[in-house]
Amino acid sequence: MNIILLGPPGCGKGTQAKKISERYGLAHVSTGDLLRKAVAEKTSLGLKAKEYMDKGKLGPDEIVLELVKQSLSGDVILDGFPRNLNQAVMLKKNFEADVVLNINVDFRVLVKRLTGRRICRCGAVYHVEYNLSEKEGVCDKCNSGLYQRDDDKEEVVVKRLETYKKETSPLIEYYSKKNKLKTVDGNGSIDETFIKICEKLNNI
């Protein structure tokens, strides 16, 4: 099964994609993670992408597609790609989604989730209120210090949400017209949302 996960920043794409990939045996491909890895490794592609990420904008389509293409084999859940109509059209040449899951979350909840998120370099994700680590500021899995993503500062969060509205939200209509879209309410807890997602996936 191939899945595209759609939804605004902070709706829980990364959190749910991890759970879905474990439950259904899919490879989890996150363009945000791929880009952050390139930034950390200071590759030329990463340095270019950072300029856009720090401003809450989307990176150039060609750069992101190049990163994604290398991961499109076997059954996959795509998290954060496509992010605009052009990417959706480019993706279609290499990938056929069985379902597009759209996670719907209220705007004010999104801001709280993003500004309170703390991450670890091992990939673990926490939240200062909803999803705490056992010892404050320290990762449960590897004991490293947690930190805030540069683009989770409130001023960038607002820009990212604007970018989503303008560039990504038209994909809802695009996939709806193709009869691929299934929308899930993501305002509840992580587990509640996962149950709703599984109900949709089990009916495909």
Residue positions annotated with a catalytic role: 13, 83, 117, 149, 160
State in angstroms the smallest separation of the CB of 38 from ligand AP5: 10
End-to-end CA distance of the chain: 10
Residue 59 interacts with ligand AP5 (CB under 6 A)? yes
Which residue of this chain has its Cβ atom nearest to ligand AP5 in the complex?
A: 32
Q: Which of 83, 100, 182, 184 binds ligand AP5 (CB under 6 A)?
A: 83
CA distance 3 to 6: 10
**Strand ranges in 13-82 using DSSP code E only, listed in sequence order:** 27-30, 76-79
d(CA 187, CA 109) in angstroms, rounded, equals 8
Question: How far lies 80's CA from each of 16, 58, 87, 133, 203, in Å?
Answer: 12, 11, 11, 25, 23
Residues that contact ligand AP5, how many (by CB under 6 A): 36
Q: Which is nearer to ligand AP5, 96 or 129 (CB)?
A: 129
In the three-class reduction of DSSP (H, G, I as helix; E, B as strand; rest coil), residue 154 is classed as: helix
Position 58 contacts ligand AP5 (CB under 6 A) = yes
Q: Does 127 bind ligand AP5 (CB under 6 A)?
A: yes
Site residues (vs ligand AP5, CB under 6 A): 7, 9-15, 31-32, 35, 52-53, 56-59, 64, 80-81, 83, 87, 113-114, 117, 125-127, 130-131, 151, 160, 186, 189-190, 193
